Amino acid sequence: MEHSEVILEFQQVDKRFDDQAVLTQLSFSLSAGMVVGLLGQNGAGKSTLMRAALGILEIDAGNITTLGETATDLSIDAKAKIGYVPQQPFGYEGFTIASALELHSSFYPQWDKALETDWLARFGLDSKQQVQKLSVGQRQSLALIMAMAYRPQLLILDEPVASLDPIVRRQFMGDLFELALESGSAVLFSSHITSDLERVASHVALLKQGELVLFKEIDALREEVVLVQLADNQDLPEGLTVLNRNQQQVLVDNADQIDIAGVVNTTSLNLEQLFMELHR
Ligand SMILES: Nc1ncnc2c1ncn2[C@@H]1O[C@H](COP(=O)(O)OP(=O)(O)OP(=O)(O)O)[C@@H](O)[C@H]1O
- For the stretch 9-21, pLDDT in tens is 999 999 999 989 9
What average pLDDT does this structure show over 186-215? 93
**Cβ contact 205:44 at 8 Å:** no
Q: Please provide residue 159's backbone torsions phi and psi, each rounded to the nearest 5 degrees.
A: 45, 60
What average pLDDT does this structure show over 172-179? 81
- 45 CA → ligand 1 middle, Å: 6
What average pLDDT does this structure show over 57-61? 96
Classify strands 6-17 and 61-66 as parallel, antiparallel or unpaired. Answer: antiparallel
- Tens-digit pLDDT profile for residues 237-254: 888 999 999 989 999 999
Band of residue 93 on the pLDDT scale cut at 50, 70, 90: confident
CA distance 173 to 158: 13
**Cβ contact 174:200 at 8 Å:** yes
Which residue's alpha carbon is nearest to atom 18 within ligand 1?
45
Give the position, in ligand 1's atom list, of the atom nearest the Cα of 57: 1
Band of residue 166 on the pLDDT scale cut at 50, 70, 90: confident
Give the position, in ligand 1's atom list, of the atom nearest the Cα of 18: 4
Task: Tell me, using a 6 A CB cutoff, whether residue 45 lines ligand 1.
Answer: yes
Domain ranges of the chain: 6-217, 225-278
Task: Tell me, using a 6 A CB cutoff, whether residue 208 lines ligand 1.
Answer: no
Give the position, in ligand 1's atom list, of the atom nearest the Cα of 49: 18
Whether pLDDT at 215 is above 90 = yes
- 210 CA → ligand 1 middle, Å: 10
Band of residue 271 on the pLDDT scale cut at 50, 70, 90: very high
**Cβ contact 270:277 at 8 Å:** no
Which residue's alpha carbon is nearest to atom 10 within ligand 1?
17
CA distance 274 to 253: 11
Best CATH choice for the domain 6-217 from the list 1.10.240.10, 3.40.50.300, 2.40.340.10, 3.30.70.270: 3.40.50.300
**Residue of 14, 22, 24, 50 best suited for mutating to test ligand 1, as the one with most atoms within 8 Å of CB:** 22
ipTM of the complex in this document: 0.96
